[in-house]
């Protein structure tokens, strides 16, 4: 497993980010592992796919 950390100065629903990102990167094994810390885990080797999916999900949430 590999991990990606998400930090924000405003409210961010990390569960929703992980859910949305997982739907956009279904083969990455993406899970919200450490919600308080902002940690998302995924399968090793899927970093680029996960980064794109997570950034897209965060931007979508900020645009609401």
For 5-63, how does the pLDDT look when each residue is reduced to its tens digit (9 = 90+)? 998 888 889 999 999 999 999 999 999 888 778 899 999 999 999 999 999 999 999 88
pTM > 0.85: yes
Residue ranges of the domains in the chain? Answer: 2-62
Q: Which residue do the tokens 């592992």 mark?
A: 33
The torsion angle over the Cα atoms of residues 7, 5, 45 and 61, rounded to 10 degrees, is -40
Residues 6+ apart with CB under 8 A from 54: 4, 6, 17, 18, 21, 40
């Amino acid at each position: 497993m590999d991990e990606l950390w998400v930090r924000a100065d405003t409210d961010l629903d990390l569960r929703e980010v992980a859910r949305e990102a997982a739907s956009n990167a279904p083969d990455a094994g993406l899970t919200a592992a450490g919600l308080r810390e902002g940690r998302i885990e995924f399968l090793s080797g899927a970093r680029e796919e996960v980064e794109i999916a997570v950034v897209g999900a965060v931007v979508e949430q900020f645009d609401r």
